[in-house]
Chain A
Amino acid sequence: MDSIQSTAEIEQHPDVALVHSARSGDVQAFETLVRKYDRQIFRIAQHITQNREDAQDVVQDAFLKAYEKLDQFQGNSKFYTWLVRIAVNESLMRLRKRRTGKMVSIDEDVVTEEGSVPRDLADWSPNPEQNYSQTELAEILRKTIQGLPLGFRVVFQLRDVEGMSTEETAETLGLSVPAVKSRLLRARLQLRERLSRYFRKKKAGER
């Protein structure tokens, strides 16, 4: 029953009609898909490569590869999930090129206790982001997430920010569901711990 329902849901997704049209040569339909997802693909590529030029190249290469392979898109996953998988692979390839000799893998498990036992237990000020300008805040958020291991920051981005399900995240990254859950929890706790430095309530006398 579940599988019948989910197939029906996928068939109703507006992307499916666009993919069909693009496959039969309607370039405008593909352009609609590019406009719809380019920002997300750029963000994901930036989180993996941590390099602006590489991320821009990934956007271009991922969409071109998707266009070339449209016939191979089975429709048993969402177009977006399929596209993200292509973008993740392109991003990893770029990262490997830059870091020749260094291990680059989302699957690499990082043993770390950081964040799992909260050290900074101070509560945050109400709306702590209001203490910073938009530019300062973006810089804090960027710096903080960049410090996380690759597998943690990508899982956090896909699952919590881009809103993919645990199963979709696992499928996209080639990880097991328990591995996604464990990375997500550790990513959340580490980010929380690191952001506490900026957002915690100041004690009397502190700046």
Chain B
Amino acid sequence: MLDELIDGTLAAETRAQLEEHMHGCEHCEVTLNTTRKTIEIYRSHEVYELPASIRDRLHAAIMARCKNGC
């Protein structure tokens, strides 16, 4: 149910029950918070960046081929 809690897809009643449980359960609270943080960190940091020079080169190559009908 952890993923549904993270994604916010749980029915309100189940969600409320779980949240009540979590207040008293450090284990669950830590797991939920750090899993949320994991997703947030991966969302907000570029793991693989495409350098501008390579990007320009790829664009030029793609567009040249498209203009020639591929």
Instruction: Give the interface of A toward B (CB within 8 A).
Output: 27, 30-31, 34-35, 38-39, 42-43, 46-47, 55-56, 59-60, 63-64, 67-68, 118, 121-124, 128-129, 134, 137-138, 141-142, 145, 156, 160-161, 181, 184-185, 188-189, 191-192, 195-196, 199
Contact of A129 among B35, B41, B46, B48 (CB under 8 A): B41
The number of chain B residues with a CB under 8 A from chain A is: 32
Residues of A within 8 A of B23 (CB): none
Task: Determine if B21 is an interface residue (Cβ-Cβ < 8 Å).
Answer: no
Mask for B12-38, Cβ within 8 A of A = 1, else 0? 000000000000001100110111011
Q: Which B18-70 residues sit within 8 Å CB-CB of chain A?
A: 26-27, 30-31, 33-35, 37-39, 41-43, 45-48, 50, 54-55, 58-59, 61-63, 65-67, 70
Instruction: Give the interface of B toward A (CB within 8 A).
Output: 2-3, 6, 26-27, 30-31, 33-35, 37-39, 41-43, 45-48, 50, 54-55, 58-59, 61-63, 65-67, 70
- Contact across chains for A67 and B66 when beta carbons are under 8 A apart: yes
B contact patch SS:
helix
- Shortest C-beta distance, B18 to chain A (Å), equals 15
- Contact across chains for B39 and A118 when beta carbons are under 8 A apart: no
- Contact across chains for B30 and A121 when beta carbons are under 8 A apart: yes
- Shortest C-beta distance, A189 to chain B (Å), equals 7
- Contact across chains for A188 and B58 when beta carbons are under 8 A apart: no
A contact patch SS:
helix
11 A-B pairs in the complex with CB atoms less than 8 angstroms apart: A43-B46, A43-B47, A59-B58, A63-B62, A67-B62, A67-B70, A123-B30, A138-B45, A184-B3, A188-B35, A192-B34
Q: In the complex the two chains form, what is the Cα distance from A31 to B39 in whole Å?
A: 31
